[in-house]
Structure 1
Amino acid sequence: MTKILLKRVYTAPSAEDGYRILVDRLWPRGQSKAELLLDHWAKGIAPSTELRKSWDHDTARFDEFAQHYRAELNQNPAVDDFLELLDRHRVVTFVYGAKNEQVNHAVVLRDYLLDQLSGP
């Protein structure tokens, strides 16, 4: 089973990160490709621009955001390919730009995908 870690883009990469995937739709400000040491950029799996802007990282609306994001993921054809990608790696780190480490889309994405990987 794949282990999924989460790390802010502003935290230095480490050997324990395994396969590093940027899960933001937008490239993080002030970061170069060399600094991030990414293996993949999965912008197609990130929340839609409309959802991201409507949520605006409002912690009071996180549950509502998470529900809408999961609904987007259920309709997103990129999810199946992404799950196959994850299945090829023991350790994957989702790299994201949000400031809040507990309330962000990467948390929702990780939990959603772990549910998908564990099956019915």
Structure 2
Amino acid sequence: MNIKLHRIYDEDIPQGYRALVDKLWPRGVSKEQADLDGHWKALAPSDGLRHWFDHDADKWADFRKQYLSELSENKETARECLADVTQQNLILLSATKDTRHSHARVLKEYLEKLDSTVVSRHRQA
């Protein structure tokens, strides 16, 4: 599976399974425009972590560590989300402006590792 990141406002989003990974719905985007296959708000950072981080690049390392901890506690939900993906490309969509310091980037990294462990288990069986 190829996992790609895009802003939901981008016009050049490639074909694939489209999942919004923000907890809140993006402003100015209708459900028809979004054309989503899933809204994975359960995999978004907790409200407390999101408010604490507040897109402050100086807090990035701590945010990343805490968010990965949250994701590891929610591993079964992440596996269920991945199981829904029926296409080669998984497109993680977010409204964030700072894509370098985005939770979507951390989620992509986490899902890639999770997907590789799921794939290797299937090969061993």
- Superposed pair shares fold, TM > 0.5: yes
| Deviations 1:25-58 (CA, angstroms, capped at 9, x unpaired) | 0000111011111111111111111110000011
Structure label with greater radius of gyration: 2
Cross-structure match for 1:95:
93
- Please give the secondary structure, in 2, of the residue aligned with 1:102: helix
Show the 5 A alignment for 1:55-94: 55-76=53-74, 77-86=76-85, 88-94=86-92
The runs of 4+ residues in structure 1 deviating greater than 2 Å are: none
Cross-structure match for 2:45:
47
Cross-structure match for 2:34:
36
**For residues 101 and 17 of structure 1, what CA distance do their matches in structure 2 show?**
20
Could you list the runs of 5+ residues in structure 1 that have no partner in the other structure?
none
Give me the TM-score of the superposition, normalised by structure 1.
Answer: 0.90
**For residues 64 and 85 of structure 1, what CA distance do their matches in structure 2 show?**
30
- Please give the secondary structure, in 2, of the residue aligned with 1:17: coil
The alignment yields a C-alpha RMSD, in angstroms, of 1.4
* Percent of aligned pairs with the same amino acid: 36
**For residues 37 and 89 of structure 2, what CA distance do their matches in structure 1 show?**
12
Q: Is the 8 A contact 1:21 1:42 kept in 2?
A: yes
Relative to its length, the structure with more helix (as a share) is 2
| Structure 2 residue identity aligned to 1:79 | A
| Deviations 1:42-80 (CA, angstroms, capped at 9, x unpaired) | 111111111100000111111110100010011114122
Q: Is the 8 A contact 1:5 1:17 kept in 2?
A: no
| Structure 2 residue identity aligned to 1:89 | Q
Q: 1:41 to 1:50 in 2, by over 3 A?
A: same
Give me the TM-score of the superposition, normalised by structure 2.
Answer: 0.87
